[in-house]
Each structure stands twice: as C-alpha cells, then as structure tokens.
Structure 1
Amino acid sequence: MTKIIGISAFYHDSAASLIEDGVIIAAAQEERFSRRKHDDRFPKNAIKFLLETSNCNLNEIDKIIFYEKPFLKFERLLETYIAFSPKGFKQFSKAIPIWLKEKLFQKKQIVSYLKEIDNSFLPGDKILFSEHHFSHAASAFYPSPFNNAVILTADGVGEWATTTVAVGNGNEIEIKKEIEFPHSLGLLYSAFTYYTGFKVNGGEYKLMGLAPYGEPKYVKTILDNLIDVKEDGSFRLNQDYFDYATGLTMTNEKFNDLFGSVPRNPDNEDISQFHMDIGASIQKVTEDIIVKIAKNIRKEYGIENLCLAGGVALNCVANGKILKEKIFKNVWIQPAAGDAGGSLGAALGYWHNELKMERLNSNIDSMKCSYLGPEYSNEKIKNILIDIGAKFKSFTNDKLLDFTTDKLAEGKAVGWFQNKMEFGPRALGGRSILGDARSPEMQKKINLKVKFRESFRPFAPAVLLEDVNEWFDLDSESPYMLLVGKVKENKLLEQTSDQMIAKGLEKLNIVRSKIPAVTHVDNSARIQTVTAENGIYYDLIKTFKKKTGCPVIVNTSFNVRGEPPVNTPIDAYKCFMATDLDVLVLGNCILEKHNQINFNLDNE
C-alpha cells in the first residue's frame, strides 16, 4: 500500500493530508491542534494525527509532497522587487534575509521539522514539491464526481499564478492558461478587506457578509481605475493604487484619495454605510469577473462540469451566481478551497498525475463529507468528562435526538460534537453550534452571546436535501456550504414600508422570512444540504422536522471569535463554559449549562 502525505505551510492555514493508494484517509489543519487561528507554522501536530490514524511511522510513508515550489516563489519576489525598484526597498531588506536563511532551503527545513516528529526519519528521496495552483486544481478535480471537467482556481498568489484554468481528464490535469502576479482577483478582494478594517487572509468572509447591507455605488470607480477587465474575464490591476507588491500594506494614498477616506481602524472606528457600499461594490465586481471567466471557459472548452478551488472559491455568493446562470451543468467546489486544501491536492496530484494511477471512483464525491479529522469514541469522551468533573448524562441515539431537538425547539443554542472533525473552514455537522432557524432572536443570540462577533454576520442553514427546493431557490446539492441561494418567495414575510426603506444595519433586526435566523438582509442564505451520508447530523434534522415541520436549522462553526473551531472534547467544554451556550452534546453525552460548575481547565 502506497502512503502519501501532502503538506501546506509557511503562509497561512497550514495543513497535512494522507492518502493511501489514492484513497483520502485523513486531513486536518494545524490550527485545530495548536489553537492558533490560521496557524502558518509547519503542521507537526496534524502530521502526528495522520500517523496515528494510519498506525504507521514516518519511515513507512512513501512520499511527502509540499504544496508549492519555494524557488519559483523566490524568483517572483526578486523579479517583483527589481521591477518596482527603488520602491519597496524596506520590504525587500526585511524579506530577503529570511528567504536566504530559511525559506529558500525549504527541503532541509522540512526534514528538520519531520525529524522533530520522529528522530529516526530517513528522508532519502521522499520529499517532493508540487506547484501551488496545480495543488489547488488537483484538490478540486480528483475528489470530484467528474471524469472530465474544467478547473478554475483563483486566490491571492501562488508562485507566480493568481488565476488558472485547467482541464481534467481521467487521472490527468493540464493547466491551459493563467494570470500572473501582481494581477490578482484574490489580492484585489483582500485590498478591500484591509481597507474596510478586516484582517487579510481571514476577514474576507466578513466583507462578503457585510456586502448585502450596502449599495454597489463604487463599481464604476473600481472598473475605471483599479482593474481592466476584458470580455473573457481576464484582467489587469493598476498597481498605482496598491502597495501589496512591495510595501507593508495592501493599499496606498492614491487608493485613499480615490475613495475619499483612509482605511478603517477596527479598534476605534465603527462600520459605516460607506464601508457597506464599498463591500457591496467589490463583491459585485468579483462576482461579475468570475461569471465572465466561467462563461468564457464553458464556451472555449465545451465541457459541462466545473471544479473550483483557491481562496476565491470560498466566495459562495459568486459560486451561487455561476450556478444560477446555469453556465455549467454541474459545479463541484473543494470544501478546503484555501491553502489547507493544497496539502490534499499535492498528495493526489502526485498519485494520479505523476504516477499515472487511475482514479478508483471518478463518479462519486470522495471527500467523505469532509469529515477527515480526529474523532473520539463515546468511552473516551465519558472518561474525559469524568476527569474534569463535568455533569452529564449518557443517552441512546434516539433519546439523544429527542432531547436535543426539544432544546432546539425551545430556542436553546446547542454545541454539537460528533464523529470526525471537518477539513476546511466550514462547520458541516461534526463541530457545530446549532440553533432553531425559525427563531427571530437566534442570530443575535449566537453572534453576541456565544460567538462574540459582529452582529451583522449571517448564519448558514442546514437543510435536508430532500426539502431544499421547498425552502430555497437552489437546484443543486450544496454539501459543503459553498453555494448561496435565495429563500423561496412563499417563505418570505411581507415587509412594511418602513422596513423596505431601511438602510445599513437598520436592516439587521427585520424578520424577513419563516426562517429569520438564516435569512440574510438580501433574502439569501449560504446553504448546506444534508443527506444520510452525514450520519447522526442528518437524523437530528429529520427528527427536528418531524416535531416542528421545519427541515432547517442554524449551523455555525463551534468556536468563539478569534479562535479556531474546537477539536477535542476539552476544547468543546471550554467553549461551552465560556459562552452562553445552553446545551453541549458530545457523542452520546448531554451537558446542560445550569448543571455545570465552571472549572479552571487552563492546565488540562
């Protein structure tokens, strides 16, 4: 049996993935173990988890594939600094010594880290390097249910490429064309993320959530000054307005002058209507470009299937537009679309594209619902809870489902910890916070009292696949919460004249539908469709539907602001005790907040 580990690291969202004879076995992000959000360090803990899962040591791993090529990235940095010189010398003088000392000789560095895991490790010729966007493309195509597909990848930047189009056939992927740095749709979106006061490489989804509160007033300004978009969707950015190529910030004074304001300081400046309008504008530009590219490659290659990966593929609103316009017959998006998924693509790309190994099941989604992380047996969970003195009851599955759905229907917020942890940024029913989608108070309760995050952030509905068409304008499965659709008209509530003219955050408290907790201000929702493949999570929603007639619940990631989603039962208990979560379900154990004594778990 051939075992291959893929690794992504040293930029953001480090991760490791394991395949055996081409079958995806396990994958996890380092942040889940280290508890450092978007951890970019070498994924030592994630690799240890893979080895435990496969019951092997590092010397029994056949190949270890890093997701990109550091020499190509170094070449890009050098050429960029030379092209923009003398501008950027300060950044150059900071970056180059680090590259010369550490990053350029990454193979040696990787071996050193691996020896920290296992001192007896003998690297030989085991360590190889993929290319960044090829890793993205492989992560999108090989697990997809398509034998033939066009693959679109878009992100900030890899080595040189920022956007690529590839074609996948059977076990082969061929990259057909690409757009290179500094022209990047991902970096353009990140520039506006920075400008509106959110963190780059982490706050982009906040900007996407903010956009519906605004009007796209600045689309023409963006298209006239910042980006030149061709009919086929290809583009070039005007570097006069940006500092990301050589500087320490994303935008510059000329950018500020264009929009008449400096970047928002999140520490002392509230979000205004201006920031909402800016968000709406860049979101509209992004959607239009992605749709243009999609239409062009559908026409050019004549293939009816589309695969998506790269950080831009996490823009579920844009993905929904591709689907709504029926450009492709089928669309499949890698759930770990960002750099974490590059680890999986690196491993799969080597197995199929380099070794020419056939795909075993090219007609099914082989991501296993993205449940690829650690899991804990009921016995292990009970022992942990006893050790920390938690008060809990153990239930059979039927009793557990009955009790939990009763609590959801009462308006309680429930921490839900079952089976394997998800791979990728979305909560998919393994490590989730759940609520009643029918509750007008649930969005505010979870945002402010549980997640401690911005009140404008929307929540996703989890809906039984068999009922999705009754509640949402979506004609497709959306197992990974990466597609947005509208709530069906017959589920919307009539608005008063005052409600219809509400502006900005005034829109937040308007009850718009029969499922207000998951209906965004533009009546959209980021949908997760749930099937029997989701196990007890599916059974829970089915039980909730039997009791309430509603097959939709709130599903959001099990964490508080600034922390990664929980991984272990201890993580879950800490989050439960530090927030206003009412109920915690760990395997078949039920904990209620009013029964607990708040222990100090810092040393656990």
Structure 2
Amino acid sequence: MSRYVLGVSAFYHDSAAAVLQDGRIVAAAQEERFSRKKHDPRFPRGAINYCLEEAEIDGGDLAAIAFYDDPALTADRIIRSSIAFAPESEAFFTRAVGSFFAVKPYFKELIQEMLNCDVPVYFARHHYSHAASAFFPSPFEKAAVLCVDGVGEWSTTSLGVGHDSEIQILKEIRYPHSLGLLYSAFTFFCGFKVNSGEYKLMGLAPYGKPIYAETIREHLIDIKDDGSFRLNLDFFDFHRGSTLTNERFDRLFKGPPRVPESRITMREMDLAASIQAVTEEVMLKTSRTLRDLTGATNLCLAGGVALNCVANGKILREGIFDDIWIQPAAGDAGGAIGAAYLADFYMLGGTRPKDDCGGDSQRGSFLGPDFSDDEILTFLSQSGATYHPLEGLDTGAATIASLLAEQKIVAMFAGRMEFGPRALGSRSILGDPRAATTQSRMNLKIKFRESFRPFAPIILEDNAAHYFELDSNSPYMLIVAPLRNEHRREPQAASDPEDMLQIVNAVRSTVPAITHIDYSARVQTVAKDVNPRMFSLLQAFHALTGCPLLVNTSFNVRGEPIVCTPEDAYRCFMRTDIDVLVLGNYILYRDEQTPVESDDSWKKEYQLD
C-alpha cells in the first residue's frame, strides 16, 4: 500500500500544499492560483483539494500531515522579542499577535476538520522545511544546504548538510539579524512591496552603481569573514514598529522612502545596486564557510533569498561548489514540500527513493493542474471564442514558431501548471528575443508593469553555453549568467540616465529583448525529457530563424497570480495585447475574436505588487 503525506505552508505569505507518494512528489500548488489573490497567505483549501485529487486520495488515505513551521517557537520569538525591545515594541507586538494567534496555533484543528479525519499532524521547524525542500528533490546524494530568508521561528540563516534521507543544521544566525529583512528594508525604502517586490529591486540594481555599499557596511551590517553578520538595529523598525526602516535610515540615505508608483530616480537605482552587492558578499562568504564546514562538493539553496538569482549565479561562477540546485519554490510555498519530506522520512520511517539520487525529482516543477483537450474544448465552446485545432506536436510547434518569428506575442497554456513563482513554459507568454521592442511592448501593453523590468530567455539546453557564460543547466530560471561577448553590441547612450524606456529599448545584443542593461540574463534551459512540447517549439524556432531561444515571462498581468485554468488564460488574453493564445491543442488568434468592451476597471481586481 502506498504511503501518502500532505505538506502545508500557510498564514504568512504564499500558502501552498504538496502531496508525496512513497517519497516522491505527486502534486504541489500555491493557494494564490485558485483564489486569484497573489501571495495568498490564507489556509490553502483550494491547493489541498487539488493535491488530494491529483493523488486520487482523500484525507483518510493520508499517513501524516505536516505543517512547515512550529507555532510554539514562533510565539516564543514574538513574545521574547517584544519584551526585549519594550516599550517601543508595542506596535510590533500588537501586529504580530493579531496575525499569528488568529489562526496559526489552530492548524491541526483546521486541517482535521476540513479533511474529516484524525490523521497525525507533524509540525516541522521552518528552516528544516526549507532545507528538506532544497536537498531531498535535488540530484545530489550528499550536499551542503544553505537556507536564507527573512525569519522562520528564530532562524534567519541556516547552514547544514544533507545525506541520503537525513538533514542536519550545523550553524545558524538568529533573529533580529536577518539578510532577508535587510534586503526587504531596501525593497520598502525604494518604493516596492515587501515579500513581493524584492525581485524588482534585484532587476533595478544594474541600472545603478553601488555607491552606498560602504555606507551599508559601515552603518547597517557588520559582516565577518565567515559570512556571519549583525545588523545595527538603530536604523530599523521591523523589530518594534509597523515599518521596516526609521527616520535615522532616512537621514542616512538623504530622504524619505520613495512613494510607490512614483518616478524611480538614480538614488533608488544606486541603492538597489548597493544592497545587491552587499547581499552577494554575504552569500559568497557564507557559501565558502559552508564548503569548509561540510566538505560537500554540491550546494542546495532555499529560503526567499535563494530567489536572488544574481547571487546564485555569482556563487556558481565562483566555483565554490561543483554544482548548485535551488528549490524552484524557494520561498515559503516550497516549505510545504519540505515539511512533507520531513514527516515522511523522520515520522514515518520512509527513505529517499534511491532511483532519484543522480536525478532531479522535482519533475520540472510541473506539479500543478492539467486540463484535457475535452475540458478545454468544452470551455471554448461555452465562451464563444473562435479557435482552431493544432495538428500534432511537431505541426503545432512549426505553426507557433512561425508566428513568433513574425514577432507575434504568444501565450502558452499547455500541460501541468508550474509550482513556484516562475513560469517555465506551461503558463508562459513568449516572444521573439531578436526584436528590440519586445521587452517594452510586453511590459507596458501586456503585463502592465514597470518598463525597467527584464525578461528571461528560455533556451534549448544544448545551446545555452553558446549564448551565455553558463557551465551547467538552469531548468528553473534561478541563475543569472552573462551574455557571451560575441552576442553583445554597444548600445547608443541614453540622453537621460533616468529614462527607463529609452535605456530598455537600446539594442545591446543580438537578442536585445532578453539582455539586461549589464549584459546579463536570467536563464532557463529546456531538456526534451522534461518539457517535450517546449523543446519542440524551441527547435522549430531555431530551425526557422537560427535563434535557439525565446522570451519567456509568466502568463499573467501585474498583480495577478499566474493563470491556472483555461478560463483564467482566456480572460487574460482578451484583456491584453497578446496576439495568439495556445490552449492545449487549440489556437486562438486575437484578430478573430469578438472585441471586448474597452474597460480597465478589471485592473482594480489585483493589488499592484
């Protein structure tokens, strides 16, 4: 009889669920995809129902349920921190208690009531959940494990090692000293949304110069040679108030925080470059320490800071480890997978499936819902859309490649939805990387987001090294690599260094739509056995144009979760300037659809991220 374990993360941000069957991931999904509320922190009822349905079980078939966090330790941190920083911590205590004690201590009752069963519930440690999510699906039999985030219970940075079915945390840095919270403080100060806009800060960094890096080192963070650090709490308010920074922070950087949605100035660009440089310094020093501590030749990463793919790329290129593997859902969502592994291996006595050692068992992170041709056809018939069938895998690839070569923007909805924040080809918007205007068109007319934000290339695995300085595969779009010199071009200088659109539209490579201002790109490599349909499309585009890559961005608009269902996909298609929609084995052309009434009020459905 199979052994099933349900893992759940919830009540902070990015709630999610996952199911393991005999130590293998069967399904995983974030609640936001079902509720349509981005970073939904609520109890993940929709995600749990999906995972059980995908596994073809009900609650009574579960051997265990695991939660990714220990509420008792979190409560201990809240209470002790509030006492330590009293009386200034009253606002912090009120906010933390209100959000924490409302639901988190009652997870066991909530899940057992929902599933109507008395299944054992296991509460994992937060950073152990991260570590398990990073190591157990990785291709390594033994690896160093690094977890870095804002805070989980007391931990903010954990250094550990994984071997076979075991994980051990060897060292940690504890709250309130947190690299994740430091990065989030600058995210807030630069006018972006915390726990959402950190990747924007990373994308903004190449526009600036790290002129504040020494100021950060001198006043905000004391970094030791081994990567350990302490924050100067005099400049922060996250541990005692309701914001991340204070007036002393404002004075240090010569003004108040940027107002969200206002013009981005050189100050924000330089601040982004500076905190990115400091973050990379800490991550590199910590990685070297971890290598010495464990003797392991491979590294696994998780925690929100592991989504900083620029830092990941630096770690890889420094050669500290032979190879690295990053959990695609490195933030709290991935904790659902990690918690399930911990319950399976430590509570139930399961072991890591041996045939997974030597091969990534994340399954391309295509772990979400799929929709059959019959389901898609039923929806299309009911929607009144005009559509055409695609004849077979290769024919469909040739048709779509031809449209992309004509610089059409194509939305792809095919196969199982991705788990994690990145669209990897199943719920993607694709474009021609050779066109200089693709980036600005996608940003402003389709995604409705800031013009400075770069797009990622999706490339045939065997061709990646021809375009990028990348010696390993990057299937989850979590490594930034430099573009090779032979593909670079000297761009025309911008007349206004703060005119983002002018800078973005400058042609600086043979593939300008995916080339960031510093000649870097967040690379995704595609293997035939992981995503055969996308592999065929890239092959067809390569044969037609000589270019083996495409622009790939998530299928959504700003503030909206990635589309989950055919209805989500069609709605997004009709509301934007996407030219073509591929729904499974059907194709829809914009100019054949009945135009929708011009009304932008729908944008209010989504909070800006």
1:111 paired to 2:112: yes
What's the counterpart of residue 256 of structure 2? Answer: 262
1:96 paired to 2:92: no
Gaps of 5+ in 2: 603-609
Superposed, which structure 2 residues align to 1:217-228 within 5 Å?
Answer: 217-228=211-222
Superposed, which structure 2 residues align to 1:135-284 within 5 Å?
Answer: 135-267=129-261, 269-284=262-277
Tell me how far 1:299 sits from its aligned partner.
2.1
Q: Counterpart of 2:169 in structure 1: which amino acid?
A: I
Contact residue 15 and residue 29 of structure 1 kept, 8 A: yes
Summarize the Cα distance change of 1:348–1:513 in structure 2 as closer, same or farther, 3 Å threshold. Answer: same
Summarize the Cα distance change of 1:528–1:102 in structure 2 as closer, same or farther, 3 Å threshold. Answer: closer
Summarize the Cα distance change of 1:134–1:393 in structure 2 as closer, same or farther, 3 Å threshold. Answer: same
Say how many residue pairs are matched.
Answer: 593
What's the counterpart of residue 423 of structure 2? Answer: 427
Tell me how far 1:364 sits from its aligned partner.
0.7
Tell me how far 1:99 sits from its aligned partner.
4.3
Once residues 122 and 385 of structure 2 are traced to their aligned partners in structure 1, the CA distance between those partners, rounded to angstroms, is 47
Q: Counterpart of 1:330 in structure 2: which amino acid?
A: D
What's the counterpart of residue 10 of structure 1? Answer: 11
What's the counterpart of residue 546 of structure 1? Answer: 543
Q: Counterpart of 2:283 in structure 1: which amino acid?
A: I
Summarize the Cα distance change of 1:197–1:56 in structure 2 as closer, same or farther, 3 Å threshold. Answer: same
What's the counterpart of residue 310 of structure 1? Answer: 303
Q: 3-state DSSP class of the match of 1:157?
A: strand
Contact residue 151 and residue 168 of structure 1 kept, 8 A: yes
Q: 3-state DSSP class of the match of 1:411?
A: coil
Summarize the Cα distance change of 1:358–1:95 in structure 2 as closer, same or farther, 3 Å threshold. Answer: closer
Once residues 83 and 259 of structure 2 are traced to their aligned partners in structure 1, the CA distance between those partners, rounded to angstroms, is 32
Once residues 565 and 103 of structure 2 are traced to their aligned partners in structure 1, the CA distance between those partners, rounded to angstroms, is 33
Once residues 470 and 102 of structure 2 are traced to their aligned partners in structure 1, the CA distance between those partners, rounded to angstroms, is 51
What's the counterpart of residue 388 of structure 2? Answer: 393
1:447 paired to 2:440: no
Q: Counterpart of 1:293 in structure 2: which amino acid?
A: T
What's the counterpart of residue 330 of structure 1? Answer: 323
1:470 paired to 2:466: yes
Q: 3-state DSSP class of the match of 2:151?
A: coil
Once residues 90 and 492 of structure 1 are traced to their aligned partners in structure 2, the CA distance between those partners, rounded to angstroms, is 51
Summarize the Cα distance change of 1:388–1:420 in structure 2 as closer, same or farther, 3 Å threshold. Answer: same
Once residues 5 and 350 of structure 1 are traced to their aligned partners in structure 2, the CA distance between those partners, rounded to angstroms, is 9
Q: Counterpart of 1:215 in structure 2: which amino acid?
A: K
Tell me how far 1:297 sits from its aligned partner.
1.3
What's the counterpart of residue 605 of structure 2? Answer: none
Q: 3-state DSSP class of the match of 1:249?
A: coil
Q: 3-state DSSP class of the match of 1:205?
A: helix
Tell me how far 1:156 sits from its aligned partner.
0.4
Tell me how far 1:286 sits from its aligned partner.
0.3
Once residues 464 and 131 of structure 1 are traced to their aligned partners in structure 2, the CA distance between those partners, rounded to angstroms, is 38
Q: Counterpart of 1:359 in structure 2: which amino acid?
A: R
* Aligned match for 2:400, one of 380, 399, 404: 404
Once residues 420 and 250 of structure 1 are traced to their aligned partners in structure 2, the CA distance between those partners, rounded to angstroms, is 38
CA deviation profile, 1:235-265 (whole Å, cap 9, x unmatched)? 0001111111121101000100111110111
Q: Counterpart of 1:349 in structure 2: which amino acid?
A: L
Contact residue 394 and residue 536 of structure 2 kept, 8 A: no
Once residues 486 and 458 of structure 1 are traced to their aligned partners in structure 2, the CA distance between those partners, rounded to angstroms, is 14
Once residues 514 and 98 of structure 1 are traced to their aligned partners in structure 2, the CA distance between those partners, rounded to angstroms, is 50
Contact residue 273 and residue 504 of structure 1 kept, 8 A: no
Q: 3-state DSSP class of the match of 2:264?
A: coil
1:346 paired to 2:343: no
Contact residue 27 and residue 372 of structure 1 kept, 8 A: yes
Tell me how far 1:96 sits from its aligned partner.
2.9
CA deviation profile, 1:101-155 (whole Å, cap 9, x unmatched)? 543343224434x2xxx4xx1225x211111100000000000000100000000
Once residues 92 and 142 of structure 2 are traced to their aligned partners in structure 1, the CA distance between those partners, rounded to angstroms, is 43
Once residues 191 and 539 of structure 1 are traced to their aligned partners in structure 2, the CA distance between those partners, rounded to angstroms, is 43
Once residues 180 and 504 of structure 1 are traced to their aligned partners in structure 2, the CA distance between those partners, rounded to angstroms, is 41
Superposed, which structure 2 residues align to 1:24-173 within 5 Å?
Answer: 24-96=25-97, 99-100=100-101, 102-112=103-113, 114=114, 118=115, 121-124=116-119, 126-173=120-167
Tell me how far 1:499 sits from its aligned partner.
5.6
Summarize the Cα distance change of 1:442–1:488 in structure 2 as closer, same or farther, 3 Å threshold. Answer: same
Summarize the Cα distance change of 1:500–1:325 in structure 2 as closer, same or farther, 3 Å threshold. Answer: farther
Q: Given the two structures, how large is their TM-score scaled by the length of structure 1? A: 0.96
Contact residue 213 and residue 507 of structure 1 kept, 8 A: no
Once residues 475 and 483 of structure 1 are traced to their aligned partners in structure 2, the CA distance between those partners, rounded to angstroms, is 11
1:507 paired to 2:508: no
Contact residue 411 and residue 555 of structure 2 kept, 8 A: yes
Deviates more, 1:297-306 or 1:409-418: 297-306
Contact residue 439 and residue 504 of structure 2 kept, 8 A: no
Once residues 102 and 267 of structure 2 are traced to their aligned partners in structure 1, the CA distance between those partners, rounded to angstroms, is 44
Contact residue 148 and residue 168 of structure 1 kept, 8 A: yes
Contact residue 214 and residue 504 of structure 1 kept, 8 A: no
Once residues 459 and 480 of structure 2 are traced to their aligned partners in structure 1, the CA distance between those partners, rounded to angstroms, is 13
Summarize the Cα distance change of 1:395–1:79 in structure 2 as closer, same or farther, 3 Å threshold. Answer: same
Q: 3-state DSSP class of the match of 2:153?
A: coil
1:457 paired to 2:457: no
Q: Counterpart of 1:172 in structure 2: which amino acid?
A: E
Once residues 403 and 236 of structure 1 are traced to their aligned partners in structure 2, the CA distance between those partners, rounded to angstroms, is 56
Superposed, which structure 2 residues align to 1:582-601 within 5 Å?
Answer: 582-598=579-595
What's the counterpart of residue 363 of structure 2? Answer: 368
Contact residue 70 and residue 106 of structure 1 kept, 8 A: no
Contact residue 122 and residue 343 of structure 2 kept, 8 A: no
Tell me how far 1:98 sits from its aligned partner.
5.4
Q: Given the two structures, how large is their TM-score scaled by the length of structure 2? A: 0.95
Summarize the Cα distance change of 1:97–1:261 in structure 2 as closer, same or farther, 3 Å threshold. Answer: closer
Deviates more, 1:316-325 or 1:93-102: 93-102
CA deviation profile, 1:492-539 (whole Å, cap 9, x unmatched)? 11345x469956635322100000000000000000001102120111
Once residues 395 and 487 of structure 1 are traced to their aligned partners in structure 2, the CA distance between those partners, rounded to angstroms, is 35
Contact residue 265 and residue 498 of structure 2 kept, 8 A: no
What's the counterpart of residue 579 of structure 1? Answer: 576
Contact residue 554 and residue 562 of structure 2 kept, 8 A: yes
CA deviation profile, 1:65-91 (whole Å, cap 9, x unmatched)? 000000100000000000000002133
What's the counterpart of residue 516 of structure 2? Answer: 520
What's the counterpart of residue 564 of structure 1? Answer: 561
Tell me how far 1:562 sits from its aligned partner.
0.6
Q: Counterpart of 2:585 in structure 1: which amino acid?
A: N
Aligned alpha-carbon RMSD (Å)? 1.6
Summarize the Cα distance change of 1:99–1:328 in structure 2 as closer, same or farther, 3 Å threshold. Answer: closer
What's the counterpart of residue 552 of structure 2? Answer: 555
Q: 3-state DSSP class of the match of 2:152?
A: coil
What's the counterpart of residue 493 of structure 1? Answer: 489
Tell me how far 1:266 sits from its aligned partner.
1.2
Percent identity between matched residues is 51
Contact residue 433 and residue 557 of structure 1 kept, 8 A: yes
Once residues 104 and 521 of structure 2 are traced to their aligned partners in structure 1, the CA distance between those partners, rounded to angstroms, is 41
Contact residue 316 and residue 324 of structure 2 kept, 8 A: yes
Contact residue 28 and residue 337 of structure 2 kept, 8 A: yes
Contact residue 151 and residue 306 of structure 1 kept, 8 A: yes
